[in-house]
Amino acid sequence: MVHPPLEFSDCYLDSPDFRETLKCYELELERTNKFLKEVIKDGNSVITAIKGYSLAVQKFSQTLSVFQFDFIGDSLTDDEINIAQSFQEFAGLLQEVEHDRMMLVQNASDLLIKPLEKFRKEQIGVTKEKKKKFDKESEKYYSQLDKHLNLSAKKRETQLQEADELLEKERANFYESSVEYVYQIHQVQDRKKFDVVEPVLAFLHSILTLNNLTVEMTQDFMPYKQELQLSLQNTRNHYESTCEELEELMKRMKRPSQIYKMHNFPMEGYLYCQEKRALGMTWVKYYCKYQKEGRVLVMVPCEQKTTTKQGPTQLTLKSCIRRKTESIDKRFCFDVETIERLVQTITFQALSEGDRKLWMEAMDGKEPVSLFLISFRIILWKQLNGQKDYPSNFVPSARLLNKGSMSLFSCSFIDPANPGDVDLHSSDWDVKTVTSALKFYLRYVCSDNLDIRLSEIHSLTYKLPEKNREMLEMLIKHLVNVCSHSDENLMTPSNMAVIFGPTLMRAKEETVAAMLDIKFQNIVVEILIEHCKKEKINHVCCSHGSQLG
């Protein structure tokens, strides 16, 4: 809004137009004062909100910084290490941003609130004081003027002269207050153009500067963000690749009878042992562990006495025979002979028939053989061998092991002690047999050390038999060829490793730990693909291994 200018000469005339113009300026001054009050109030609200937000973010960053990931397994991949440190990185970034934000909050009052308060009190407040003085002097002057004009001309000359002097004095005071008031109005109107705008500009500049710093921090954070996103994607791919297998393993683990058939675990479980006590025979509960390699049976007593604590008993197994049902009143029993107790046979009771079978299979147990069956086997053996007398060390076998073409093929294809020459074009081998053997071979091409360094992979590659290494070279060269078209088929080395890692380096035992280690196997396959460059694996690994070894 544009107002007509106030001239100092108009103060002397004090015309109605002057008064009207003065009133417009007074209304503008009141509107400015009200505006400043609202700006100060809202500015304080903004500062309080920023401070509250900053404190909340700092609390959030502290919560992130104290959390630590716990991972399953003995070692971590680079992706897992990156993910484990992510919250500390997030917290550091947030704390750096909020440190600058708190500096803004601390300076906001000096930048915005105090200058506006100062202008409102010193400039607008002084103008209001000048207005009060102007109104007071105006009222006195016009009151004195009315009295002066009402004086009678018949008054004495001295009285009239005194009245004239008094009126002139009041006029001078009124004129002085009017001029000062107009001057102060001009001061406020001119100063508010910069005294009001400058604090707001400084406050906005600090906010924009903070935003600019935040943008710079964001740019600095981008490389880590991209690296973390790649780690998260790799971890997600690993999860998706192992989730289905883990679920299948869980379903199989729900059938306890299959557990020890699937793994080479030491046989463990509860058994009841028949022992002779003072009051007769009794059955004592033990937790037993059997190591097949050394044929060692460890018995840990479960029913501990309050007075004495018994330690585990270790026995060396000599033989194991199933106990005939009619020979004992208990079910699921079997007898064990040990080297430590040659005279005494130990009788155990399993928890079920299936559990007994597992224990007997682990201990190479035998079925009880009748005298008639022994004689029949001896006669049959002599007839087959054309002998009339059987050897003294003859032991009738209770089992027959049949190996099919698949087993023979796999052994000749893989066993380094008996490599053999396999003609893949021979019609004697079925296509399914060849492919199954190849898959079986790929599953068992594994290494004990899954270090990510190329030198270690080079060393492990040379530990493979020559035929295995040649087959691995053929496969990796094919995978490199597939990955070269990743723009079309989306099969990057990382994705290809997720697919072939579990196949090339599958563990012999299906366990949760083995499935968690697939991520390391994927890394090895990815490195082989990335550094093959369509050359021989041994050349590539050797060149890189010499640099990193």
| Domain span at 469 | 445-548
454-463 vs 518-530: helix crossing angle, rounded to 10: 90
Over range 367-387, report the average pLDDT. 51
Evaluate if residue 241 carries a pLDDT over 60.
yes
Report which of residues 360 and 402 the model is more confident about.
360
Q: pLDDT for 261-288, tens place per residue?
A: 555 567 889 999 998 887 888 999 999 9
Range 491-515 average pLDDT: 77
The predicted model gives 248-256 an average pLDDT of 74
> What angle do helix axes 493-504 and 518-530 make, rounded to 10 degrees?
120
What's the average model confidence in pLDDT over 112-130? 92
Whole-angstrom CA distances from 335 to 83, 269, 289, 302, 399 are 54, 16, 16, 20, 20
Domain boundary among 362, 390, 422: 362
Q: Which of these, 474, 268, 253, lies nearest to 358 by C-alpha position?
A: 268
Supply the pLDDT for residue 257.
54
In the DSSP assignment, the letter for residue 323 is: P
pLDDT the model gives residue 33: 93
User: In which band, very low, low, confident or very high, does the pLDDT at 540 lie, cut at 50, 70 and 90?
Assistant: very low
| Predicted confidence band of residue 467 (pLDDT cuts 50, 70, 90) | confident
The whole-number pLDDT of residue 461 equals 78
State whether 169 and 26 are in the same domain: yes
In this prediction, residue 309 carries a pLDDT of: 73
Q: Could you tell me the CATH number of the domain that includes residue 484?
A: 1.10.555.10
pLDDT at position 1 is: 60
Mean pLDDT score across all residues of the chain: 78
So what's the pLDDT on residue 44? 93
Contacts of 518 (CB under 8 A, 6+ apart): 238, 241, 242, 501, 502, 505
**Size of the chain in residues:** 549
Specify if 423 maps to a domain.
no
Number of structural domains found in the chain: 3
Kind plus residue range of the DSSP H or E element containing 318 = strand 313-322
Widest CA span in the chain:
182
Does residue 59 sit in the same domain as residue 200? yes
Whole-number Å distance between alpha carbons of 321 and 315: 16
Same domain? 177 vs 305:
no
Radius of gyration of the chain (CA): 50
Final residue before a domain boundary, out of 220, 246, 279: 220
Give the per-residue pLDDT at 238.
Answer: 82
* The pLDDT value given to residue 541: 43
96 inside domain: yes
Per DSSP, the three-state class of 66 is: helix
- 254-263, 291-300, 423-432: which has the highest mean pLDDT? 291-300
Tell me which residue of 353, 337, 246 sits closest to 297, measured CA to CA: 337
Average pLDDT over residues 317-334: 90
Q: For a pLDDT cut of 90, what percent of the chain falls above it?
A: 26
Which of the four pLDDT bands, split at 50, 70 and 90, describes residue 164? confident
Q: In the predicted model, is pLDDT for residue 89 greater than 50? A: yes
Residues 463 and 442: beta-carbon distance below 8 Å: no
Instruction: Give residue 335's pLDDT.
Output: 94
| pLDDT at position 304 | 63
- The enclosing domain of 63 has a CATH number of 1.20.1270.60
Average pLDDT on 185-212 reads 91
pLDDT of residue 223: 92
Of 340, 232, 237, 348, the C-alpha closest to 284 is 348
At 33, list the tokens: 């004062």
Phi, psi of 254 (to 5 degrees): -75, -10
6-10, 195-199, 358-362, 382-386: which range is least confident on average? 382-386
pLDDT of residue 296: 92
| Cβ-based neighbour number of residue 323 at 10 Å | 20
CA 119 from centre of chain = 53
Q: Which of 157, 179, 160, 158 is nearest to 168 (CA)?
A: 160
69 and 207 share one domain = yes
Q: 204 and 270 share a domain?
A: no
Beta bridge partners of 273: 284, 348
Residue 161's φ and ψ, nearest 5 degrees, are -65, -40
In a domain, 486, yes or no: yes
Both 137 and 284 in one domain: the answer is no
| 168 and 265 together in one domain | no
Is 50 exceeded by the pLDDT of residue 181?
A: yes
The DSSP-derived string for 127-147 is HHHHHHHHHHHHHHHHHHHHH
For residue 545, pLDDT beyond 60: no
- The residue-averaged pLDDT of 158-167 equals 83
Of 190-199, 259-268, 463-472, which range is least confident? 259-268
Domain assignment present for 226: no
Contact 323, 228 (CB under 8 A): no
E strands along 242-312, which residues?
267-277, 280-291, 296-301
Residue 134: C-alpha distances to residues 16, 138, 182 (Å): 16, 6, 10
Lowest-confidence pick of 61-75, 164-178, 373-387: 373-387
* Rounded Cα–Cα distance for residues 310 and 304 (Å): 7
Could you tell me if residue 280 is inside a domain?
A: yes
Specify whether 180 is located in the same domain as 275.
no
Let me know if residue 414 belongs to a domain: no
Q: Which one of 337, 362, 387 terminates a domain?
A: 362
Residue 293 domain-assigned (yes or no): yes
The least confident of 74-83, 180-189, 239-248, 530-539 is: 530-539
CA distance 420 to 409: 9
pLDDT of residue 397: 37
Q: Is residue 360 predicted with pLDDT exceeding 80?
A: yes
Same domain, 30 and 91: yes
Answer yes or no: do 459 and 524 share one domain: yes
Answer yes or no: do 30 and 172 share one domain.
yes
> In the numeric block, which tokens belong to residue 381?
């053996």
At residue 544 the predicted structure's pLDDT band, cuts being 50, 70 and 90, is very low
Question: What would the mean pLDDT of 96-125 be, rounded to a whole number?
Answer: 90
- Split at pLDDT 50, 70, 90, the class of 196 is very high
CA–CA separation, 283 and 272 (whole Å): 6
The pLDDT value given to residue 258:
56
Quick one: pLDDT band at residue 434, thresholds 50, 70, 90? low
Q: What is the pLDDT at residue 534?
A: 37
CATH of the domain at 316: 2.30.29.30
Indicate whether 54 and 192 sit together in one domain.
Answer: yes
pLDDT of residue 320 exceeding 90: yes
Q: d(Cα 145, Cα 155) in Å, to the nearest integer?
A: 17
Query: Which has the minimum average pLDDT: 1-15, 31-45, 87-101, 374-388?
Result: 374-388
CA angle at 279 for the pair 274 and 281, rounded to the nearest 5°: 15
Q: What is the mean pLDDT of residues 506-526?
A: 74
Which pTM does this prediction carry?
0.53
Note whether residue 374 is domain-resident: no
Query: Which tokens is 475 given?
Result: 């496969």
Report whether pLDDT(366) > 80.
Answer: yes
